[in-house]
Structure 1
Amino acid sequence: MNSKKILLIEDDPTLRNAIEAFLIKQGYELRVYDNVSKAMKEVGPDCHLILSDVMMPGLTGYDLLGYVRKHFPTIPVILMTGYGTIEKAVEAMKNGAYDFLIKPFSLNVLEMALKSAFLDFPHDLPGETKNTEKYPTAQIKASDRFLASNIKMKEILSNLRRIAQSKATVLIQGESGTGKELIAQMIHEFSPRANRIFVAINCAAMPDTLLESELFGHEKGSFTGAVARQIGKFELSNNGTILLDEISEMSLSMQTKLLRVLQECEIYRVGGTQPVPLNLRVICTTNRDLHQYTKQGNFREDLYYRINVIPITLPPLRERGDDVLFMAREMINEFSILHARKSPELDESAKQKILSHPWVGNVRELRNAMERAVLVGSFDVIENGAILLPNEKTNRISQGPAADYVEPGLSLAEIEKRVILTTLDRFHGNRTKTANELGISLRTLRNKLKTYGVAGDSMSGKLDAI
């Protein structure tokens, strides 16, 4: 008997009895109630987990959650909900619930949820061996690398610690270069799983067959070349966190398989016949508007709602106000140390140039520009001409902030479009060189050009139309 004490609150006697019988068989010590009022009186430090229905007569599971978070914040709360109350249960997870189970659920899903909670919120019991397994972590934490002074960004960052305490799936959306992977790493760092493994995989970087093998692993002989069993990324990240980067690029077929993983908390290796149980924190990123992409039929709606439990949208750099100057100064200091130089100041013309530029490639483009400025600028002051932007040739100095493409009356979106098409035209339609010059990925460039209706390599007609 493991002596872990669980409070079970469920007003449906049939479901309550079934769960009670299962948990007793698993060796848990139970206190069972049919309403929240009675259960609240019994919550105390000797309670290790609370499993509660949401909608009940009188006080609800939300009321219980609020009480527990206020008085006993280290006790994990798992909510059970019907389809009609999923949105409220998701909101409850944002407010501190550890997990929620959608009725009807299998006993296997319940068992994995309990194991996950006790792994993240361990209680040292007599005779129990504590899991001290740790994984190597980066010397510089993601939270130390993410630069922000903007109020909106600070609000996002302040919410991460609270978000990190549950195992809810997080969907991070934002343009390329806005720091989505850093945010994912920060969630992992702030979570109870911080000392466990963090695995990232780019879903856009490989074809379906290879992606399936990378995620699920395979058995020996399952296909030509499978000379030995291989553990996939899901299995590798068990008890830790997995980042599915650019999940929107996953095919509909792979989306179906991913949905099953999230619902059943288990996988089958390619060619395997035995299920492998999983305890994962899943974080997804995309540079698309995934809701719109789903409405267009390119992404499964059921999977979208499954991964969009906690959504985070990162604003592009051009919408972060003076954050760009703050970040530019920090990057200049960083690259000055890296290249063994005195850290120079930005003069007013350089500041205006930085503020005027749309930064299509966001933080990634800004970093490239600031490193170049440190290398080509003077030791004391970085002037306008030292900040080389995509529309400028390296052997001339710009006549003004973004002078070639900024005109009165242009919106930021129009400026961005002009920057991209002007650069593409300068490289005679070569998209690889254009992406490198802009500091963005080739995939992002393709997506932008598709939005602009650009299919061919000739840009002259498109530029005349701007």
Structure 2
Amino acid sequence: MAEKTILFVAPAQAVTQFFPDFKEAGIAAGIADSLASALAAIRKAPPTLIFSQAKMGVYTAESLLAEAKNHEAFPPVVVFTDRGTAAEAARCLELGAKDYWLEPLSWEKIQAMLPGESPARPVAAALAASPVAAGAPRPAAQPEASGKGFAVVGQHPAIRRVLALARQVARSKATVLISGESGTGKEMFARYLHASSDRADGPFVAINCAALPEHLLESELFGHEKGSFTGAIARKLGKFEMASGGTILLDEISEMDIGLQAKLLRVLQESEFDRVGGSETVHVDVRVLATTNRRMEEAVAEGKFRQDLYYRLNVIPLKLPPLRERGDDIPRLAQFFVEKFRKAYGLPPLAFSADAKEWLVAYDWPGNVRELQNLMERAVLLAGDGPIRKSHFLLDPDVWPGEAEEGADDDLAMAEDAEGLGDDAPADPFEAGAAVANLGEAPGGAPGEVVPLDIMERHMIIKSLDRTEGNRTQAAQLLGISVRTLRNKLNEYRKLGIDVP
């Protein structure tokens, strides 16, 4: 018998994803689906630890904990649930539960509870320290659902339902159609499915079906033989062959030409295809994921997408909610991205000002999570030592920070008025919103001195180029202007004899 054993009293689909981790760690794990089967398993071979779902049909974890009181050497029990309450948590802890968790489970959390992995707290101490037992709000769930190092951030019920379904089907070979608005994270979810599957060690190959015309897309997907068309100077393997043993993502599948859809249908049904210009049938073992930002039913009704292919792709539908419908996930994601970028740029911890928090929640986020991520990177670079203010989001490409915020407290005017105030003048007149102070030291001048707008503008451009190692596209994105505007500004500086990147 393994040195450590775990018994799960839960549906199989809730825990089977961790079995490879158990095997690798030398841990024996079993599953029981009722109180009677759990007690029988415990009598036969007492486990090191029990993880029990709070409710499962007529079964409740409280009944298992009540039974534990009758046995002196009963294994410790960790209760988990997808919809916890403070009252339920308090009852479980009072009955002797080692801990009370909100799903999703993670391998790291499970491993940490095993004896020898981390010190176990006595139940009495857990009760004393538990915010739930003290009548505080329900315990916060972990902010990320992980799949072998891949994280999905979100706790809103809409995203948790999608995550629960993704975890349930991750280890199958079923085709998954991921739909949602642009920027909602469809490719990220595809990668999460791959990372959580038995194919995680295999290749993950993605191709954008909207980026190539039909003849090139066919060659990219299925490969071609030498001489099959002008320019085909050698045999080329397609994406399906490259993904064999792993996963292929067909991004924006709704844009695929209907003539190519029949060949794709054959691959899905038979796991085989012919290269362009070839006569040899190629067999592959590939899990297919697809994404779309369109209503596929409408595309089928309009005759733009094959109905049989749609049904074959839509075995498991995952519909991602837009960011504007995810409530508290917006500030949670904003903080996640801020932490990510401030660490990447070696900056100190950053907080959000009150106006920034209000704006984040009120904004409609037409670009969804992708837009939020880009804005947070920009804000981190412009905020410097913080805090992050509304002006750092720079939404208007024709306006610099501090110029057009209704508020920005008229920073420039304040700075001018501050001249001559002596000791009462602020140390940095641009502190409330001017990006020049947050991108680095102000260009020249003594502390408290007003910096002309054209110098501030030039300083911001140069610092942004420094931050992006001369990448004009990224620098323009950070500044909230077009690449063309950036190029024109640089040309102006060169004509003035100013050395710019």
What TM-score, normalized to structure 1?
A: 0.55
The answer on 1:205 being equivalent to 2:198 is: no
The answer on whether the counterparts of 2:214 and 2:257 sit within 8 Å (CA) in structure 1 is yes
Query: Which secondary structure does the structure 1 equivalent of 2:298 belong to?
Result: helix
The alpha carbon displacement at 1:437 in A equals: 9.8
Match of 1:399 among 391, 406, 424: 406
Q: How does 1:113-132 map to 2 (within 5 A)?
A: none
Q: How does 1:232-311 map to 2 (within 5 A)?
A: 232-311=238-317
The one-letter amino acid of 1:328's match is A
Q: Structure 2 CA distance, aligned partners of 1:313 and 1:142?
A: 23
Shift of 1:359: 1.0
Secondary structure of 1:146's counterpart equals: strand
1:366 aligned onto 2:359: no
Which residue of structure 1 aligns with residue 200 of structure 2? Answer: 194
Q: CA deviation at 1:141?
A: 6.6
- Cα distance between partner residues in 2 of 1:333 and 1:262: 41
**Contact kept in structure 1, 2:350 and 2:385, CA below 8 Å:** yes
Match of 2:382 in 1: 376
- For 1:403-456, what per-residue CA distance to the aligned partner results, in whole angstroms no more than 9, with x for missing partners? xxxxxxxxxxxxxxxxxxxxxxxxxxxxx9xx97999xxxxxxxxxxxxxxxxx
Distance 1:271 1:364, change over 3 A: same
Tell whether the 8 Å contact from 1:173 to 1:286 is kept in structure 2 after alignment: yes
Computing the radius of gyration from Cα coordinates, the structure with the larger value is 2
Deviation at 1:389, TM superposition (A): 2.1
**3-state SS of paired residue (1:276):** strand
**Correspondence for 1:74:** none
| Contact 2:204-2:243 within 8 A present in 1 as well | yes
Aligned equivalents of 1:327, 1:173: Cα separation in 2: 20
Aligned residue pairs total 272
CA contact (8 A) 1:360 1:438 kept: no
* Inter-partner Cα distance in structure 1 for 2:378 and 2:264: 42
**Deviation sequence 1:348-384 (CA, Å, 0-9, x none):** 1111111111111111111111111112125131122
Q: Which residue of structure 1 lines up, in the alignment, with residue 325 of structure 2?
A: 319
User: SS state of the match for residue 282, structure 1?
Assistant: strand
1:348 paired to 2:354: yes
Contact 1:267 1:277 survives alignment (8 Å): yes
CA distance in 2: counterparts of 1:210 and 1:400, whole angstroms:
52
Where does 1:7-46 land on structure 2 (aligned, <5 Å)?
Answer: none
User: Amino acid of the residue matched to residue 183 of structure 1?
Assistant: F
Q: Distance in 1 between matches of 2:227 and 2:479?
A: 45
- SS at 2:191 equivalent: helix
Q: Does 1:335 align with 2:341?
A: yes
1:308: how far off?
Answer: 0.3
What's the offset of the Cα at 1:155?
A: 2.3
1:330: Cα distance to partner? 1.1
Match status 1:216 vs 2:216? no
Residues 88-130 of structure 1: CA deviation (Å, up to 9, x unaligned):
xxxxxxxxxxxxxxxxxxxxxxxxxxxxxxxxxxxxxxxxxxx
Q: Post-superposition shift, 1:400?
A: 6.8
Give the aligned partner of residue 183 of structure 2.
177
> Matches of 1:313 and 1:233 in 2, distance apart?
25
Contact persistence 2:184–2:321 (CA under 8 A): yes
* % same residue: 50
1:152 to 148, 152, 158: 158
Deviation digits for residues 26-50 of structure 1, max 9, x if unmatched? Answer: xxxxxxxxxxxxxxxxxxxxxxxxx
8 Å Cα contact 2:148-2:196 kept in structure 1: no
Matched AA of 2:168: R
Amino acid in the other structure paired with 1:399: E
Shift of 1:397: 3.8
The Cα shift of 1:343 comes to 1.7
**Is the alpha carbon distance of 1:343 and 1:438 closer, same or farther for their aligned partners in structure 2, counting shifts above 3 Å?**
closer
Kept in 2, the 8 Å contact 1:353–1:400? The answer is: no
Rounded to whole Å, the distance in 1 between the matches of 2:280 and 2:195 is 32
Q: Distance between the aligned counterparts of 1:203 and 1:359, measured in 2?
A: 25
8 Å Cα contact 1:142-1:182 kept in structure 2: no
CA displacement at 1:196 relative to structure 2: 1.0
Q: Secondary structure at the match of 1:394?
A: coil
> Helix, strand or coil for the counterpart of 2:303?
coil
Q: TM-score, normalised by structure 2?
A: 0.51
Report how far residue 142 of structure 1 moved.
Answer: 8.0
Which aligned segments of 4 or more residues in structure 1 are displaced greater than 4 angstroms?
Answer: 140-143, 435-439
- Partner SS state of residue 346, structure 1: coil
Q: CA deviation at 1:315?
A: 0.6
- Alpha-carbon offset, residue 387 of structure 1: 2.1
Q: Distance in 1 between matches of 2:333 and 2:318?
A: 21
Alignment of 1:89-108 (within 5 A): none
Residue 360 and residue 141 in structure 1: after superposition, are their counterparts in 2 closer, same or farther (change >3 A)? same
| Whole-angstrom distance in 2 between the partners of 1:310 and 1:253 | 24
Comparing 371-380 with 198-207, which one deviates more in the overlay? 371-380
Output one character per residue of 1:35-70: Cα deviation in whole Å (capped at 9) or x when no partner.
xxxxxxxxxxxxxxxxxxxxxxxxxxxxxxx9xxx9
Please provide the CA RMSD for this pair: 2.8
8 Å Cα contact 1:361/1:438 also seen in 2: no
**Is the 8 Å Cα contact of residues 173 and 313 (structure 1) preserved in structure 2?**
yes
Query: Which sections of structure 1, spanning at least 5 residues, go unmatched?
Result: 1-65, 72-139, 402-431, 440-466
The one-letter code sitting in structure 2 at the alignment partner of 1:274 is E
- Look up the SS of the partner of 1:382 in the other structure: coil
Deviation at 1:393, TM superposition (A): 2.0
438 and 258 in structure 1: CA distance in 2 versus 1, 3 angstrom threshold: farther
Shift of 1:181: 0.7
Secondary structure at the aligned position of 2:153 is classed as: coil
One-letter amino acid matched to 1:398: E
Structure 1 residue aligned with 2:236, among 225, 230, 234? Answer: 230
CA shift for structure 1 position 191: 1.1
Kindly state the Cα deviation for residue 179 of structure 1 after the two structures are TM-superposed.
0.8
